[in-house]
Structure 1
Amino acid sequence: MEPFRQNPRAWNALVARLPHAHFLQTWQWGQVKAAYGWQPHPVLWKARGEPAAAALVLRRRGPWGLTALYAPRGPVLPWSWPALRGQVLADLEAWGRRAGALFVKIDPDLPVGYGLPDDEDAQPNPTGIAVQGLLQQRGWQPSEQQVQFPNTMVLDLTLDEDQLLARMKQKTRYNIRLAARKGVRVRLAQGDADWDLMYRMYAQTAARDGFVIRPRDYYLRIWHLFTQANMGQGFIAEVEGEAVAAAFVPHFAKTGWFFHGMSTRAHREKMPNYALQWAIIRWLKAQGCTRYDLWGVPTQFHEADPLWGVWGFKRGFRGQIVRTLGAWDYLPRPWAYHLFQRVWPRALAWMRRRAQRSR
């Protein structure tokens, strides 16, 4: 393992050449997190003198001098190479021990299976299952904090538009065409006014659907950095000039991701979200992308899962369900980790109560 010392473009080119590349392993994502307390450390591994694996590792110092190391959707490598994957894990473990880290977290974009778990058409991925076993043997454990969605749905953009439409559920196809008849138009986001519009819409969506979002500057930093690098695009669906739905879609290594989606309650009967998705699909195909990741489907495929409502919408596009390895933690100091897990939530609650009393 060695630090990467070249420029951002060279890093992204290296990551893009490797299997299981992801936009959360790009230089731009490191710069997003650098503004919020994380230190990005791009590292690589060589085999036969050539780069063979890479990881953007984020390092953060927490309270009481504690350190966390996290490779979001990394490391990136040909996981089917036993010697290489063993070396990568060994080096990350050693790094964690040297740093006195509370934990080292990885969550590579590595499938363990495809399709619904109990479906007769479900298919295992032998490489993912082998890596799962290797992690267990080396003392890693499934993380209690799954930062990214472990399961997702991916559309095959090598199909032509007619083939993509034919694969969809009849109702999804109908709603795409209905939106066009009802005058829903989708345009590309351009400039700060559109970013502000999208953030306001995102805040409305969060309040309506009961999830928490970050401050405005966090999202604007993501949107600016990725669009400036030609690695992301915003989309806004409108009805008679009124914005009713929007999305931000990063794209990297021939894959696009439905990263941030937002909508209002206005004109929902005109199906703007279907028009939005179809516009994204067509745009990504025009950019040469071969995959569209719809970013998250249920972890457990039943109604109690928080993503069950979203699943009802996404499943209509009939992409391939991809079940990934999920996040795994290596604990250099297990006693400190478990103590922190018990003490830190109480300390946070105490600090919040004290802050409220001092107002």
Structure 2
Amino acid sequence: MTKQDWNQFIIKNNNSFLQSWQWGEFQKSVGRKIWRVERAGVKALVIRQGLPFGKNYLYCPRGPIGSLNEFLKEVKPIAKREKSIFLKIEPDAGFSQNLANFKKSLKEIQPSKTIILDILRPAEEILFHLRPKTRYNIRLAEKKGVRIEEKNNNESLEEFLKLAKMTAKRDRFSLHPKGYYKKMMEVLGEEGIARLYLAKSKNRVIAADLVVFFGQTATYLHGASDYHYRQLMAPYLLKWQEINQAKKLGLKYFDLYGINETKWPGVTRFKKGFLPDGGQGGGKEVVYPGACDLVFNPLWYQAYNLARRIF
């Protein structure tokens, strides 16, 4: 199976960049073992995730694609060889197969709810139907002289990471190590899949996003901003320009990638502002099945969950 054939299958089945050939190569580049499972109309990228004490679990993001039973026939022998504690799957939306042998997981890696915008309509029409506050803030950022640039070099990545550290501290979430993002840009950026967008005010970077382009969808994967310049509303213009870039590339959808009113109320309000106002169509909230674990070693699985609660 070639890279092209693999990706064509993934795209045809409306699946995520997380099942793309390139995402597998990126995972290998950060030291993780991967398998591309193929069997009787089934395809799935499976990633080995390391744990303390030499333990591990297997992870299938936004998969499998096809029969779960056929998928498990391939994965169970892998788990046995690798001495994996469990298999975690986070299926795509619309997955309706029997998960009776799986446990609902307390640990989700991908967001279980998102907003996906339909961006096929003319830009003027999309802008007209945005929530009034969002439309106002886009225009305010333009009026204040905020400029948007796409820059995928090391200097731009450093600017993004500097803002990401500030944002993580402010919003109390953790980041991947610096090397993770560098490898992402090396592997995915080289093929134009991962791109960095910077918002500038008087040549100072005040907001930055990392967006992934795969198939018919652009996905807002990571974002960061300088709180001291919040009155310039740069993230609104940044997102609007990213949507326009996706349109220019002929894409159909823009995934705002993760909402949660309880965990991220501010971010969720911001993202919901890009939904068409008054039920005009052109976007919707999408709910995924969430994370489910198939346990191979109950004792170590119990220890894993206990350690997560403590630490």
TM-score (norm 2): 0.90
* Correspondences of 1:321-340 after superposition (within 5 Å): 321-340=285-304
Q: Compared with structure 1, are the counterparts of its residues 191 and 336 closer, same or farther at alpha carbon in structure 2 (3 Å cutoff)?
A: closer
Measured after TM superposition, the shift of residue 53 of structure 1 is 2.5
The Cα shift of 1:195 comes to: 1.2
Give 1:65-104 correspondences, 5 Å limit: 65-77=54-66, 84-93=67-76, 95-97=78-80, 99-104=82-87
Q: Are 2:276 and 1:342 equivalent residues in the alignment?
A: no
Q: Are 2:161 and 1:207 equivalent residues in the alignment?
A: no
- 1:142 and 2:100 correspond: no
Please state if 1:14 is matched with 2:3: no
Task: Using the aligned pairs only, state the percent identity.
Answer: 30
In 2, the alpha carbon distance for the partners of 1:244 and 1:16 equals: 34
- Higher RCO (CA-CA < 8 Å; seq separation 6+): 2
Structure 2 residue aligned with 1:183, among 129, 141, 145?
Answer: 145
Which amino acid letter does the alignment assign opposite residue 8 of structure 1? K
Report if the CA contact (8 A) 2:89-2:292 is conserved: yes
Residue of structure 2 in register with 1:29 after alignment: 23
Deviation at 1:289, TM superposition (A): 1.1
Q: CA RMSD in A?
A: 2.2
Aligned position for 1:308: 265
Q: State whether residues 106 and 327 of structure 1, in contact with CA within 8 Å, keep that contact through their aligned partners in structure 2.
A: yes
Shift of 1:322: 0.5
2:92 partner SS = coil
Q: Secondary structure at the match of 1:258?
A: strand
Tell me the CA shift for residue 101 of structure 1: 2.3
The aligned counterpart of 1:227 is 189
Report Cα offsets for 1:65-85 as digits up to 9, x if no partner.
5331111222134xxxxxx34
TM-aligned CA distance change 1:341 to 1:85, over 3 Å: closer
Quick check: 2:160–2:208 contact (8 Å CA) kept in 1? yes
Specify the alignment match of 1:268 in structure 2. 230
Q: What is the CA–CA distance in structure 2 between the aligned matches of 1:325 and 1:163, rounded to whole Å?
A: 32
1:146-161 to structure 2, matched below 5 A, reads 146-161=108-123
How many matched pairs?
Answer: 304
* Aligned residue type for 1:101: S
CA distance in structure 2 between the aligned counterparts of 1:344 and 1:311, rounded to whole angstroms: 26
Partner of 1:317: 274
Change (3 A) 1:20 1:333: farther
Q: Give, in whole Å, the separation in 1 of the partners of 2:309 and 2:131.
A: 45
Q: 1:45 aligns with which of 20, 33, 39?
A: 39
Match of 2:178 among 193, 211, 216: 216
5+ residue gaps, structure 2: 276-282
| Secondary structure at 1:190 match in 2 | coil
Structure 1 residues 267 and 248, CA, compared in 2 at 3 Å: closer, same or farther? Answer: same
1:223·1:248 contact (CA, 8 Å) conserved in 2? no
**Which amino acid is 1:145 matched to?**
K
Query: Which aligned pairs between 1:245-260 and structure 2 lie closer than 5 A?
Result: 245-260=207-222
Cα distance between partner residues in 2 of 1:277 and 1:55: 31
CA distance in 2, matches of 1:210, 1:62: 23
The CA deviation string for residues 90-115 of structure 1, in whole angstroms up to 9 with x for no partner, is 5434543564421011102224xxxx
Structure 1: stretches of 5+ with no match in the other structure: 1-5, 47-51, 78-83, 112-127, 350-359
How far 1:258 moved relative to its partner? 0.6
Q: Is the 8 A contact 2:184 2:194 kept in 1?
A: no
The normalised TM-score by structure 1 is 0.78
Pair 1:240-2:240 in alignment: no
Q: Which amino acid aligns with 1:337?
A: Y
> Structure 2: which amino acid aligns with 1:320?
K
